[in-house]
Structures are given as structure tokens and as C-alpha cells.
Amino acid sequence: MKFFEPLRDDLMVQQQISNAWEHMVGVIMLNQTSRKPVKLTLPEFLYWFPTPQALLQADEDFVKTILAPLGMLNVRYKRLIRMSQDYLTWDGEDATMLYGIGKYGSDSYEIFFKQNYSVEPTDKELKRYLQEETECQI
């Protein structure tokens, strides 16, 4: 059995991933669950499925086994698959064009990948992050 190092608890999930697809996977995982199980599950998920193509070719039952700690297996699986299909032809602009990505995911993408700090998120963690970033820049 392989051990997967969980993501750091002192950083947001978005600060610990390396590309936009991983970001969107993290956003879908964070939907209706707390960050702690996501920080445990995401490293293993990305180990087995490092790209959208790898996820799209994976066995559904195996994917769901990894997603099990997050709950909502069928919904989460469907969102990840549909988002990954969309991602392959996405232009990288409007994140809400990806299946399953709403305001939180779009705001997060704008902040972490486009460095657009003019967004006005409603999520308290994104608000806190933006406040800390702007205070550091002063």
C-alpha cells in the first residue's frame, strides 16, 4: 500500500497544485465537504490521474474508491469526468464554461492562476486570502 503525503494544512488547496486542471479537480472535491478530507484525498487522486486524459481512461469503480472519503460519489465522479472532457477544449478564459465550476471555482481561478485580485469573492477563505495578499503588497 502506497502512502500519500497530505497537502499542508496551513495553505489553501489552490496554493498547492501545479496547473489549472488540478485546480478545477480541487474545486470539485471541495464542493460540499471540508478541506481536511480533500487535502488527504487529492494527492492520491493526482498520483493515479495526473492529467484529464488519465482520468477519462480510468476505471469508474477505481476512481470512486479514491473519491469515497469525500462522499457524493456519483455526483462528484460525473462532475470530474464532464469537467475533464470540457477542459480538453477549454480556452483557459472563463472557468464557468467548465462543467461543475461555479462562482467559487471561477473566482479562485482568477485569483490563483490569472493573479486577478480585482474579483469580489463571496467565499470567506478567498476573501481572507485576497486581504492578506493586498496587505503584503502595501
Q: Where are the alpha helices (DSSP H) in 49-102?
A: 52-57, 60-67, 73-87
Contact in structure between 58 and 105 (CB atoms under 8 Å): no
Q: Is 123 a catalytic residue?
A: yes
For residues 127 and 75, give the distance between their C-alpha atoms in angstroms, rounded to a whole number: 27
Give which of 14, 17, 43, 7 is closest to 130, Cα–Cα.
14
Residue of 59, 61, 91, 123 with catalytic role: 123
**What positions carry a catalytic annotation?**
123
